Chains A and B, each alone.
Chain A
């Protein structure tokens, strides 16, 4: 087995183990109803986590996504309440804005050589602030088109519903996997994470790739905001606080190295499912405080960071034994 697959294998193993444990206690956990809800409830997190995977693979970070989700949800709500625009037009407008927002952050990161942490932190405050400018109230969305979208689902065998937004998340993950592994853009993202200077020498257009990565993250955060708006049928400036951290956690639990260059979009999917599974268990149990989700995720993250360190240490050790002793 290749060492880069190790974190992914560990994630899948943990997921299966966790599911088996849950199933033994609550056999209903395996029903398609639960699975359908798992997908629906985590759709907005999953979609933005795909974008986050690309960002982290390139060695960066995007702290703005939670605020962008809130901005999008309130933007959509305000426009639908205040104008006669069709929701699809509003969606297109929202996606255009968030994509440009991401691209602008990417441009600042690349051209001004600023650390992504700082730039996207600024982006986080900016997007949250813009959301408050639009409205400080929670605005409900009432539109017949929303009702139509919400009524769309595919009834799985066993009675579970794969809703539109759950299906959308699956689609985004499939497209994400293809983009990461089967396009030149994907290869460039991995190259950037492996070493920006070397990637440039090998002909990777750093500027275009960096802007593309953050634009993609912005686009997916916007899409996630639309999904969030469909999910809650409301827009609120204070919603989705800390979602960026959940997304980062899902990516890391999914086996992507925080240092960049190694990981899988599919791993992030498992990461999202693990986080959703913990929440579902807590709901099933009924006596546990929902804060247990955070505690378990915290422990899991810590375990994965240790695992990654261990793998890095092992591969480093292997590299030094391979290299015959030589001078500096």
Chain B
């Protein structure tokens, strides 16, 4: 057929920038009818920006999008839908309080004499879902069905509305194996029907199982497009993380391993979030955590800090058991946690730099013992100076500072509590190169002072530079631990890419 030769959708040199950041830089992408095309990349690689440009949620700055050989420029999701581009998101974007049939036909219900013809709507809904192998009571509320069924209903709606291209944005993130199989069978059927399917996921196994081609994005650029069957797992991970194995960065071994074990975690984990792991953190040691997005990096940190309470195992501090079931208790045990997403989890934008810095210390003292204004000013000034936070005024709302300085202020917030164990989740994301180096120097300083650190980072070079040990995660499991000489980017990438079989801790 001719259609299989001509791409259904072709994107040429798409560029999109936001104030202060180039989100997509001349990205090319093509999608054929009847193929599943996986779109991969770490956080901030530009996947979601690309998708949003295709679905009309964003307008592109420049570049061409051709659908069936005609240039298109959807202004909103409805126009994209009318053109034939439908999207299904990770979070089911349907209404739980409406019936299945109402969800399928909202806004386009069949009508008779101006009234919604419920009987016909329900009959059509049943027919539509039968094609997806679902036989359900369409008059029940959506919320009475499992997430997998809801996801299939969302797919059915998207395909029914658009019909040419289906974009699946992490549709399997909250499904179990059985349910993933169910969704995959549906996707395969749609592929046979000639739809072009864009598939976004963090699960590499699923990529290899389902996709025909793979496109990898990194830092807003396309790294490459390959045929899945001709691709090795290792090659894919290398493309995603951006390291050629030939240019391995080695470990700088002059630093000594830290002293005594400060924190010990035994079989620590939470079902469905992160498998139980054993971890020892010594005084003055930096433990790096590596892995792809969705591998359980942030989950590890959250379980340790009690954001998501653990349901198995115990934690010890200096040999004594400690309760880490809630952030308050973790803080009381000397832990600190700088989360990944500053904007939503870290800074409180409208509060001043001073208020942001003293927040954790004040929380730890309790509201009955407020810090005096003078103490607050002293603490804030000390850290503004020590960390070189560039602000004209300590009373300036923190949202007016640059990303790097916000990050330093959050670090200051935790340092003010003099923690013994600090967890940093992607401390260098989204900040400029200069601030980058400063944060790294700061990390090194802190561990020299005897603080224990757990640093999560996608920047492997960084981990290699400062970590004494590196834990590698995959599929929500700690799969490898590298120490001393073994720490180099090549080993980390290999550990991430290693297929299925569990690696031994060297």
Query: Residues of A at under 8 Å CB distance from B?
Result: 2-4, 178, 181-184, 186-188, 190-191, 193-195, 198-199, 201-204, 261-262, 315, 318-319, 322-328
Contacts and interface: CB of A to CB of B under 8 A. Distances in A.
A151 to B, nearest CB: 35
B98 A191 contact: yes
B271 A203 contact: no
A262 B273 CA distance: 32
Given A191-B95, A194-B95, A195-B95, A327 B106 contact: no
A187 B143 contact: no
B106 A204 contact: yes
B97 A194 contact: yes
A323 B174 contact: yes
A323 B146 contact: yes
Given A191-B98, A327-B273, A315 B106 contact: no
B61 interface: no
A328 B298 CA distance: 10
A319 B143 contact: yes
B94 interface: yes
Nearest to A57: B97
Contacts of B340: none
Contacts of B272: 324-327
Contacts of B176: 324, 326
Given A182-B118, A328-B273, A328-B299, A190 B140 contact: no
Given A182-B116, A184-B116, 20 more contacts: A2-B144, A181-B118, A186-B116, A187-B107, A188-B107, A191-B95, A194-B96, A198-B95, A201-B77, A203-B107, A204-B106, A262-B97, A315-B143, A323-B174, A324-B179, A326-B175, A327-B174, A327-B272, A328-B299, A328-B302
B17 interface: no
Contacts of A195: 95-96
Interface of B: 77-78, 81, 93-98, 102-103, 106-107, 109, 111, 114-116, 118, 140-141, 143-147, 173-176, 179, 271-274, 296, 299, 302, 308, 476
Contact of B94 (A183, A188, A202): A202
B271 A325 contact: yes
A327 B269 CA distance: 12
B218 to A, nearest CB: 24
A129 to B, nearest CB: 34
Contacts of A184: 107, 109, 111, 116
A2 B299 contact: no
A266 to B, nearest CB: 16
Given A4-B141, A184-B116, A324-B176, A203 B95 contact: no
Contacts of A204: 106-107
A4 B176 CA distance: 28
15 contacts: A183-B116, A184-B111, A190-B97, A190-B102, A191-B95, A191-B98, A194-B97, A194-B98, A199-B106, A203-B78, A318-B144, A324-B176, A326-B175, A326-B272, A327-B272
B106 A202 contact: yes
Contacts, number: 95
B258 to A, nearest CB: 31
Q: Closest 6 A-B residue pairs measured CB to CB? A: A325-B272, A194-B95, A261-B97, A194-B97, A182-B115, A203-B107
Contacts of A203: 78, 81, 106-107
A175 B138 CA distance: 25
A188 B97 CA distance: 12
A178 B117 CA distance: 12
Contacts of A190: 95, 97-98, 102
Contacts of B94: 198, 202
B197 to A, nearest CB: 20
Contacts of A199: 95, 106
A318 B118 CA distance: 27
B105 to A, nearest CB: 9
B143 to A, nearest CB: 6
B313 to A, nearest CB: 16
B208 to A, nearest CB: 21
Contacts of B96: 194-195
Contacts of B98: 187, 190-191, 194
Given A178-B115, A194-B98, A201 B106 contact: no
Nearest to B109: A184
A195 B144 CA distance: 17
Contact of A327 (B78, B111, B476): B476
A195 B102 CA distance: 14
A183 B106 CA distance: 11
Nearest to B116: A182
Contacts of A262: 97
A3 B179 CA distance: 25
A3 B144 CA distance: 9
B311 to A, nearest CB: 10
Given A193-B97, A203-B78, A326-B175, A187 B109 contact: yes
Contacts of B145: 322
B308 to A, nearest CB: 6
Nearest to B77: A201
Nearest to A182: B115
A147 B243 CA distance: 90
A193 B102 CA distance: 14
Contacts of A194: 95-98
B342 to A, nearest CB: 18
Contacts of A3: 141, 144
Nearest to A195: B95
B95 A202 contact: yes
Contacts of B274: 327
Query: Which of B97, B98, B144, B146 lies at the interface centre, i.e. has the most chain A CB atoms within 10 A of its CB?
Result: B97
